[in-house]
């Protein structure tokens, strides 16, 4: 299929300019906190006209799947559990043409309605990004594709549905001794959901984020067209969709790069009391050849009995020294490293690890090690999920804040935030690790700070029931953002969330115009992913 953007831009310059004006003018303009009211029917965007006729109009579509119009509260909920926008219908597509027909129908009706469409993966968004107030939510997990296709040749890959979970891809590819190379920390997320953001974890320093490990996509654009795109074919759409926050099309299929999988991992943690020593070691490791396969880190502020908590899954290298270590009251930094291996090569592995560790400057008594299977390691957060669910603590509000900080300012960030703005991390883990951007493709829609090494800092807070936790954490998050702005750190939000056009424009910086142009090319009426609150649906011009 030909590229819709080139023809559109060349032949319809006047129409382009008109749509461009509509999109810019219709970016959500006010500063109200759209998620402040947690009721299920918050009217955040003016409802469309003739809402009562919409369900019957959707019912006229001939589909392989079906719409549901009742009991839709699950589609107004996400992992963040802060924003709740009730849709008018949920589409359970069985085929790509169900999605295309629905979008075309909504376009056809666009002179009379403001109906929008949100693809929903697992709904692990934080601020309503996969919701559509009085719009249509597409339950991507119901998309029936032929089973995963694995190409086991010289350049191995897997073809998967956009609604597929990464955990299923792991299990399927392992049957061929293969595995995706770049992951997220939690695997019960969908391909379409993480590719709309980036997909960053401890392997990204070597392989780039998940969006840099995709060969090809099939996308249904906001015009209802089904387009295959890659670096060679419809490249503008391909790179636009990757990290594109769902703005340009719905990913119905992705071709993901694979590599050989190992069976086991050696999982290591060490502690530091000085931030600069910790970050120097992290930066040393991500720049070394033959380094670890996964490198992350986290901060612990005012925690007690830290090493004791590790003992259930890790073993101290020196139990006597470890028992004498006291963490109480200090800010400590944990470097977490993993090396993949096959058991028959354990001797070589141990030598490699010994060499790598000898180059580091951690507190010697805090070296802890563990050996688990590759699957257990990659699926590690699911164990916590099971425990938290059993205590009713998974479905609490999650006011997470994820930031990307340039290496040159990470020390200023640490000094200003840890122990000053954030005085403990009792609400949840704080991850911090560098990635090497030389491995990242900068043609995607994802926005990062302008340096070769950037840090991901993730405040993964949970607001416990019956406390003022949510308000407290959100205020603290705002203080962190204010600090970054005032100190001009050049930070960018990851999994971004803003209220105004100016904030989005600042977020995208020099990429903003390209983003707006792509929007007008692929989703000119701004139907898609309204929950990101970047553009507001326009009424069609005929
Ligand atoms: P959803 O929340 O359903 O959707 C996210 C956005 O993508 C929405 O705007 C939606 O409309 C759009 N979308 C969904 N499917 C499609 C599609 N097929 N085509 C086009 N647009 C689509 N992220 C990381 O990068 N690294 C991590 O280590 C990491 N760990 C996490 C751990 C946990 C416990 C959780 C809850 C999240 C984590 N995330 C991480 C964040 C995760 O990447 C986002 O939540 C992401 O939104 C994926 O979730 P999802 O598949 O449920 O997508």
| Residue 41 within a domain | no
pLDDT tier at 373 (50, 70, 90 boundaries)? very high
Cβ(202) – ligand 1 distance below 6 Å: no
Q: How far is CA 38 from CA 76, 78, 80, 478, in A?
A: 10, 12, 11, 19
Give yes or no: residues 473 and 381 share one domain. yes
Cβ(192) – ligand 1 distance below 6 Å: yes
Cβ(23) – ligand 1 distance below 6 Å: no
Instruction: Name the residue with tokens 């636009």.
Output: 240
Give yes or no: residues 241 and 286 share one domain. no
Q: What is the pLDDT of residue 426?
A: 85
Q: Which atom of ligand 1 is found nearest the CA of 252?
A: 18
Q: What phi-psi label fits residue 175: left (phi over 0), alpha (psi between -120 and 50 degrees) or beta? A: alpha
Give yes or no: residues 405 and 357 share one domain. yes
Q: How far is CA 430 from CA 404, 417, 469, in A?
A: 13, 11, 16
Give yes or no: residues 216 and 304 share one domain. no
| Residue 27 within a domain | no
How far is the centre of ligand 1, averaged over its atoms, from the C-alpha of 65 (Å)? Answer: 23
Q: What is the pLDDT of residue 239?
A: 98
Q: Mean pLDDT over residues 99-110, rounded?
A: 94
Cβ(139) – ligand 1 distance below 6 Å: no
% of the chain residues with pLDDT over 90:
77
Phi, psi for residue 470 in degrees, rounded to 5 = -60, -50
Q: What is the pLDDT of residue 501?
A: 87
Q: What is the pLDDT of residue 539?
A: 58
Give yes or no: residues 317 and 459 share one domain. yes
Which of 260, 278, 310 is where one domain is finished?
260
Give yes or no: residues 275 and 210 share one domain. no
Give yes or no: residues 205 and 343 share one domain. no
b/e code 317-348 from CB counts within 10 Å (16+ = b): beeeebeebebeeebbbbbbbbbbbeeeeeee
| Contact (CB, 8 A) for 158 and 254 | no
pLDDT at 20 over 90: no
Alpha carbon nearest to ligand 1 atom 13, residue? 193
Give yes or no: residues 287 and 308 share one domain. yes
Q: Mean pLDDT over residues 181-206, rounded?
A: 98
Cβ(246) – ligand 1 distance below 6 Å: yes
pLDDT tier at 35 (50, 70, 90 boundaries)? low
Q: Which atom of ligand 1 is found nearest the CA of 219?
A: 19
Give yes or no: residues 137 and 253 share one domain. no
Q: Which atom of ligand 1 is found nearest the CA of 122?
A: 52
pLDDT at 510 over 70: yes
Cβ(193) – ligand 1 distance below 6 Å: yes
Q: What is the CATH number of the domain that holds 340?
A: 3.40.462.10
| Residue 17 within a domain | no
| Residue 43 within a domain | no
pLDDT at 217 over 70: yes
pLDDT at 9 over 70: no
Q: What is the pLDDT of residue 142?
A: 95
Instruction: Name the residue with tokens 């590229």.
Output: 3
| Residue 312 within a domain | yes
Supply 197's token pair: 């953001």
Secondary structure (DSSP) of 508-534? HGGGHHHHHHHHHHH-TT--B-GGG-S
Q: What is the pLDDT of residue 175?
A: 97
Of the listed ranges 48-57, 65-74, 111-120, 324-333, the least confidently predicted one is: 48-57
Instruction: Name the residue with tokens 């600069």.
Output: 276
Instruction: Name the residue with tokens 């060349």.
Output: 10
| Residue 135 within a domain | yes
* Single pTM value for the model: 0.92
How far is the centre of ligand 1, averaged over its atoms, from the C-alpha of 124 (Å)? Answer: 5
Q: Mean pLDDT over residues 68-78, rounded?
A: 96
Give yes or no: residues 323 and 377 share one domain. yes
pLDDT tier at 319 (50, 70, 90 boundaries)? confident
Q: What CA–CA distance (Å, rounded) separates 517 from 81? A: 32
| Residue 157 within a domain | yes
| Residue 483 within a domain | yes
Q: What is the CATH number of the domain that holds 160?
A: 3.30.465.10
Secondary structure (DSSP) of 295-353? EEEEEEES-SSHHHHHTTT-EESSHHHHHH---TT-EEEEEEEEEEE-GGGHHHHHHHH
Give yes or no: residues 355 and 446 share one domain. yes
- The H or E element spanning position 405 is strand 401-406
pLDDT at 345 over 80: yes
Q: What is the pLDDT of residue 2?
A: 39
Give yes or no: residues 318 and 170 share one domain. no
Q: Mean pLDDT over residues 271-276, rounded?
A: 96
Which of 260, 283, 307 is where one domain is finished?
260
User: Mind telling me the catalytic residues?
Assistant: 124, 185, 296
Neighbours of 146 (CB within 10 A): 8
Domain count, the chain: 3
Which of 80, 118, 121, 403 has most ligand 1 atoms within 8 Å of CB, for mutation? 121
Instruction: Identify the domain containing residue 136 by its residue range.
Output: 57-142+519-532
- The secondary structure of residue 185, as a DSSP letter, is S
How far is the centre of ligand 1, averaged over its atoms, from the C-alpha of 269 (Å)? Answer: 28
Q: What is the CATH number of the domain that holds 129?
A: 3.30.43.10
Which of 77, 117, 141, 192 has most ligand 1 atoms within 8 Å of CB, for mutation? 192
Q: What CA–CA distance (Å, rounded) separates 32 from 533? A: 12
- The H or E element spanning position 435 is strand 430-436
| Contact (CB, 8 A) for 446 and 464 | no
Q: Which atom of ligand 1 is found nearest the CA of 381?
A: 34
Alpha carbon nearest to ligand 1 atom 7, residue? 193
Q: Mean pLDDT over residues 219-225, rounded?
A: 98
pLDDT tier at 343 (50, 70, 90 boundaries)? very high
pLDDT tier at 15 (50, 70, 90 boundaries)? very low
Q: What CA–CA distance (Å, rounded) separates 59 from 66? A: 9
Q: What CA–CA distance (Å, rounded) separates 195 from 320? A: 46
Q: Which atom of ligand 1 is found nearest the CA of 140?
A: 18
Please list, in sequence order, all residues whose beta carbon lies within 8 angstroms of the beta carbon of residue 427, skipping any fewer than 6 positions away.
Answer: 461, 462, 463, 464, 469, 473
Enumerate the β-bridge partners of residue 264. 341, 373
Residue of higher predicted confidence among 194 and 8: 194
Q: What is the pLDDT of residue 113?
A: 83
| Contact (CB, 8 A) for 322 and 316 | yes
Which of 260, 275, 293 is where one domain is finished?
260
Alpha carbon nearest to ligand 1 atom 34, residue? 186
Q: What CA–CA distance (Å, rounded) separates 459 from 151? A: 38
């Amino acid at each position: 299929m030909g590229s819709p953007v080139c023809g559109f831009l060349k032949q319809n310059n006047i129409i382009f300019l008109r749509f461009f004006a509509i999109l810019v003018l219709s970016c959500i303009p006010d500063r109200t906190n759209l998620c402040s009211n947690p009721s299920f029917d918050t009217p955040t965007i003016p409802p469309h006209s003739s809402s009562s006729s919409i369900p019957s109009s959707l019912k006229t579509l001939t589909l392989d799947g079906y719409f549901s119009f009742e009991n839709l509260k699950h589609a107004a909920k996400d992992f963040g559990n802060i924003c709740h926008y009730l849709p008018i219908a949920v589409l359970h597509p069985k085929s790509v043409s169900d999605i295309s027909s629905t979008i075309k129908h909504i376009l056809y009706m666009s002179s009379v309605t403001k109906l929008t469409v949100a693809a929903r993966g697992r709904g692990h968004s934080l601020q309503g990004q996969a919701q559509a107030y009085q719009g249509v939510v597409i339950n991507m997990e119901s998309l029936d594709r032929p089973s995963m296709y694995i190409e086991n040749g010289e350049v191995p890959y897997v073809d998967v549905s956009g609604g597929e979970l990464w955990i299923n891809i792991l299990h399927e590819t392992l049957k061929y001794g293969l595995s995706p190379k770049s992951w997220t920390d939690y695997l019960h997320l969908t391909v379409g959901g993480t590719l709309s953001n980036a997909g960053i974890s401890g392997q990204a320093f070597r392989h780039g984020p998940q969006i840099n490990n995709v060969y090809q996509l099939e996308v249904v654009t906001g015009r209802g067209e089904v387009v295959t795109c890659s670096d060679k074919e419809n490249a503008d759409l391909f790179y636009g969709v990757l990290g594109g926050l769902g703005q340009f099309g719905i990913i119905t299929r992705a071709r993901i790069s694979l590599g050989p999988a190992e069976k086991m991992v050696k999982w290591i943690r060490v502690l530091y009391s000085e931030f600069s020593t910790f970050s120097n070691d992290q930066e040393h490791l991500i720049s070394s050849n033959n380094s670890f396969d996964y490198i992350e880190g986290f901060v612990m502020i005012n925690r007690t009995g830290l090493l004791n908590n590790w003992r259930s899954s890790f073993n101290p290298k020196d139990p006597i020294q470890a028992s004498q270590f006291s963490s109480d009251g200090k800010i400590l930094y944990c470097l977490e490293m993993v090396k993949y291996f096959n058991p028959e090569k354990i001797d070589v592995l141990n030598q490699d690890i010994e060499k790598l560790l000898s180059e580091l400057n951690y507190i010697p008594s805090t070296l802890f090690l563990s050996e688990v299977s590759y699957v257990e390691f990659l699926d590690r957060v699911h164990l916590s999920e099971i425990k938290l669910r059993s205590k009713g603590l998974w479905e609490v509000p999650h006011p997470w804040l994820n930031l990307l900080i340039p290496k040159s300012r990470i020390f200023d960030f640490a000094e200003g935030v840890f122990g000053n703005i954030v005085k403990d991390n009792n609400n949840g883990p704080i991850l911090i690790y560098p990635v090497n951007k030389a491995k990242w493709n900068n043609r995607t829609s994802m926005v990062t700070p302008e340096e070769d090494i950037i840090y991901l800092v993730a405040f993964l807070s949970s607001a416990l029931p019956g406390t003022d936790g949510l308000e407290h954490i959100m205020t603290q998050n705002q203080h962190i953002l204010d600090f970054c702005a005032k100190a001009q750190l050049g930070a960018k939000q990851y999994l971004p969330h803003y209220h105004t056009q100016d904030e989005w424009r600042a977020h995208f910086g020099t990429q903003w115009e390209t983003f707006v142009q792509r929007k007008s090319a692929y989703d000119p009426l701004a139907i898609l992913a309204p929950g990101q609150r970047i553009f507001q649906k326009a009424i069609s011009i005929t």
